[in-house]
Copies of this chain bind each other. A is one copy, B any other.
Amino acid sequence: MTQTKTKTTRIQEINRGIILDAALEVFSAYGFRGTTIDQIAEKAGMSKPNLLYYFPRKEDIYVTVLEKTLDDWLTPFRHIDPTGDPLDELAKYIIAKLKLSESRPESSRVFANEILHGAPAIGDFLQTHLRQIVDRKIAVIRTWIDEGRLAPVDPHHLIFMIWATTQHYADFKVQIGAVVPDRVEDENFYEETAAAIITILFNGIRPRQDY
């Protein structure tokens, strides 16, 4: 067994964590090119050479940050349960994603920025891993529809709509804040948002005779 030296010390673990937290904030605010290593180092409270001791290249920090956020954001998606009630499962997913948008908008923004610029760092991941997960969930949705437990809609576009909408509240926060400044302040904003989205998505906006 030729184990490569992978002895991770306590200090390493702590400092890598500090660096990644700092980097997430800075990358989300300024993007990859717009971020300087000095900025991250300052926010992390250490010298630049020291930071580069842990992550030899700027890109290494960026990729690591991205990988962590990707995992965060995919977790609720993975948790959609084929054996559960379709509407319940989707509602739970929407609520989970909106909660993430509220608690960790930075990671959503880093991800959005990466995709926006053509996914140079995670294109492969999207085409392999992400696609695989999506395919599985698409199959689940198809089954639900076949069983008559969900209206016959296009599964891909349904997923895209949910992704788009939930991302929007993190990524376009500034715009939302500009358009409805009073409501965003409300501490229940995200609960209200979830309720409103679920209502629209479940029932549609076509008026019905039966209220």
Q: Taking beta carbons and an 8 Å cutoff, which residues of A are in contact with B?
A: 29-34, 87, 90, 109, 112-113, 115-119, 123, 126-127, 130-131, 134, 148-154, 156-158, 160-161, 163-165, 167-169, 171-172, 174-176, 178-181, 183, 192-193, 196-197, 199-208, 211
Contacts and interface: CB of A to CB of B under 8 A. Distances in A.
A180 B127 CA distance: 9
Copies in the complex: 2
A192 B157 CA distance: 9
Given A178-B131, A197-B161, A202-B205, A115 B172 contact: yes
A53 to B, nearest CB: 26
B112 A171 contact: yes
A156 to B, nearest CB: 6
29 contacts: A29-B118, A31-B113, A31-B117, A33-B34, A109-B116, A112-B172, A116-B172, A118-B174, A119-B175, A130-B179, A148-B207, A150-B206, A151-B203, A154-B196, A157-B197, A157-B200, A160-B168, A160-B172, A160-B176, A161-B197, A161-B200, A164-B164, A164-B165, A164-B167, A167-B168, A201-B205, A202-B204, A203-B206, A204-B204
